[in-house]
Amino acid sequence: MLFFLYIALFIISVFILWHCLTTNSVNEAICRNVRLIPLENMLFMYLSGRRYELAVHKALAQTGSSQVFAAKVLGNFTLYVADPVVAEQVLSRQFSKFSRRRVS
């Protein structure tokens, strides 16, 4: 009986941890004013033999007109930029275009 109690406690704590991490990603996306796209787990995609880039491309097609979107990859909040103009600004270090960023 005690074994089942431990198993139930473990399952409940894993659910609470998952819920907290998911809520954190949603709050981060809301703060940055980007759309959060759910992507499949990278490990499951690797084990099934599917390419991760195709899932990102499919997510990009789902976003429609939004060229900047976010996803949770390996537990981290990741921004994807599909607009070449915005990507050029990011890669050329024109950080004055971004809020909450100091220019040195």
30-61 pLDDT, tens per residue?
A: 787 878 787 777 788 888 888 888 887 887 77
Global pTM value: 0.55
CA atoms within 13 A on the CB side of 44: 5
pLDDT digits (tens, 9 = 90+) for 63-87: 666 678 788 777 777 888 877 787 7
